[in-house]
């Protein structure tokens, strides 16, 4: 090989060894998933069970009752009568145009995803805020989770667990959990050092500091993270529908492949309506906590 050639074309590995490399990694993963796939699937059984139960509950209850319950939650969260009325019209629109069942499936998966991301994300965020080393280790993982195209990590998930709700749920969580973790970490780190010193001076131990000072003061920031997480989870419903998650994503997917413009638009609008409702409710709930903190509720 002469010198000029070395500089003009990249000295890459031979295609033979590259093929061998890919083949052996794929083979190893395939045998791993064949061996442990069932066991790992079993771990997720309780989640699947709950998800199915929740979806059935939303589907099988009479629709006026479900709307009433949802509106109740909207009002409790936002304390805004306008938003509640707006949501009522959104739900009526969704139902009238035949998207009720798909919407309920989406609501159920978003609901379960949000609960799981909060349940995992906040403790991880707390861990990160307490140790710079943990933060240095977790941050790049979060970067990968947020930037890696979702299709790429869908491949191993589907290989391992097949097509269905759980792989979809995992895909949504992987994509949506980083904001909760990051903002929990940030919120706790941003707590005023003097206030923390005061807690120390009065002999507060670590748990007392965390639960009485750090978390309450970080709550508005954490809530901004939860809000973002919900938005990102909604953005994932179309991609999740590709691996068999029921909901508004499926008709959208069908509309794309068949060029059904109206069908795509209607279902797209339903996703937008859900997003706006979730966003406004969680934002105004977060804001109310901030007001309380600022003492302006007197």
Partner 1 sequence: MSEVKIKIENLYKIFGPRAKEYTNKVKSGIDKDELLAKYNHVLGLDNINLDIKEQSIQVVMGLSGSGKSTLIRHINRLIEPTEGTVLVDGEDITKLNKADLLEFRRNKTGMVFQRFALFPHHNILDNVQFGLSIKNLDKSESKDKAMYWIEKVGLTGFENKFPNQLSGGMQQRVGLARALAIDPDILLMDEAFSALDPLIRTDMQDQLLDLQKNLKKTIIFITHDLDEALKLGDRIAILNGGKLVQDGNAEEILLNPADEYVSNFVKDVNRIKVLKIGSIMNIDGNMNESNPSVMVDESIENCLPTMLESESGLNVLDNDKNFVGVISKNNIAEILRRSKD
Chain residues in the site for partner 1 (CB under 8 A): 192, 194-195, 197-205, 208, 212-213, 216-217, 292-295, 298
On whether the CB atoms of residues 278 and 86 are closer than 8 A, the answer is no
Residue nearer to partner 1 on the CB measure, 17 or 291: 291
DSSP letters spanning the chain:
--HHHHHHS--PPPHHHHHHHHHHHHHHHHHHHHHHHHHHHHHTHHHHHHHHHHHHHHHHS-HHHHHHHHHHHHHHHH--HHHHHHHHHHHHHHHHTT-HHHHHHHHHHHHHHHHHHHHHHHHHHHHHHH-HHHHHHHHHHHHHHHHS-HHHHHHHHHHHH-SSHHHHHHHHHHHHSHHHHHHHHHHHHTS-HHHHHHHHHTT--HHHHIIIIIHHHHHHHHHHHHHHHHHHHHHTHHHHHTTT--STHHHHHHHHHHT-HHHHHHHHHHHHHHHHHHHHHHHHHHHHHHHHHHTTT-
Minimum separation from the CB atom of position 127 to partner 1 (A) = 21
Q: Which is nearer to partner 1, 192 or 258 (CB)?
A: 192
Of 204 and 242, nearer to partner 1 (C-beta) is 204
d(CA 231, CA 238): 13
Residue 214 CB, shortest distance to partner 1, in Å, is 11
Give dist(CA 289, CA 298) in Å, integer.
13
Residue 147 or 205 with smaller CB distance to partner 1: 205
Minimum distance, C-beta of residue 193 to partner 1, in the bound complex (Å)? 9
Cβ nearer to partner 1, comparing 254 with 292: 292
- The residues, ordered by sequence, that sit 6+ positions from 220 with a Cβ below 8 Å of its Cβ are 187, 286, 287, 289, 290, 293
Identity of the residue, 59 or 209, whose beta carbon is nearer to partner 1 in the bound complex: 209
Q: How far is the CB of 282 from partner 1 (least distance, A)?
A: 19
- Closest to partner 1 by CB, 39 or 207: 207
Least distance in Å: CB of 117 to partner 1?
Answer: 24
Provide the minimum distance between the beta carbon of 188 and partner 1 in the complex, in angstroms, as a whole number. Answer: 14
CB of 119 to partner 1, least distance (A): 23
Q: How far is the CB of 209 from partner 1 (least distance, A)?
A: 10
For residues 287 and 281, give the distance between their C-alpha atoms in angstroms, rounded to a whole number. 10
Residue closer to partner 1 (CB basis): 31 or 291: 291
């Amino acid at each position: 090989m002469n010198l000029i050639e070395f500089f003009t074309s990249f000295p890459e590995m031979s295609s033979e060894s590259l093929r061998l490399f890919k083949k052996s990694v794929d083979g190893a993963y395939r045998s791993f998933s064949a061996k442990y796939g069932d066991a790992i699937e079993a771990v997720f059984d309780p989640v699947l069970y709950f998800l199915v139960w929740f979806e059935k509950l939303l589907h099988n209850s009479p629709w006026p009752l479900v709307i009433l319950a949802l509106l109740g939650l909207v009002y409790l969260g936002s304390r805004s009568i306008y938003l509640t009325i707006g949501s009522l019209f959104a739900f009526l629109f969704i139902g009238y145009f035949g998207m009720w069942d798909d919407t309920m499936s989406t609501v159920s998966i978003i609901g379960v995803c949000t609960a799981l991301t909060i349940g995992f994300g906040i403790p991880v965020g707390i861990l990160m805020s307490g140790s710079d080393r943990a933060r240095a280790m977790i941050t790049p993982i979060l970067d990968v989770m947020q930037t890696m195209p979702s299709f790429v990590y869908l491949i191993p998930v589907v290989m391992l667990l097949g097509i269905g709700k759980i792989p979809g749920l995992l895909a949504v969580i992987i994509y949506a959990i980083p904001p909760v973790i990051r903002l929990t970490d940030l919120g706790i780190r941003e707590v005023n050092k003097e206030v923390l010193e005061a807690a120390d001076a009065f002999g507060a131990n670590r748990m007392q500091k965390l639960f009485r000072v750090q978390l309450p003061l970080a709550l508005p920031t954490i809530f901004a993270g939860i809000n973002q997480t919900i938005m990102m989870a909604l953005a994932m419903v179309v991609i999740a529908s590709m691996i068999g998650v029921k909901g508004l994503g499926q008709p959208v997917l069908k509309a794309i492949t068949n060029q059904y413009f109206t069908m795509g638009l209607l279902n797209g609008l339903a996703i937008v309506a859900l997003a706006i409702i979730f966003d406004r409710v969680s934002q105004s709930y977060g804001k109310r906590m901030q007001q309380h903190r600022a003492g302006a509720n007197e």
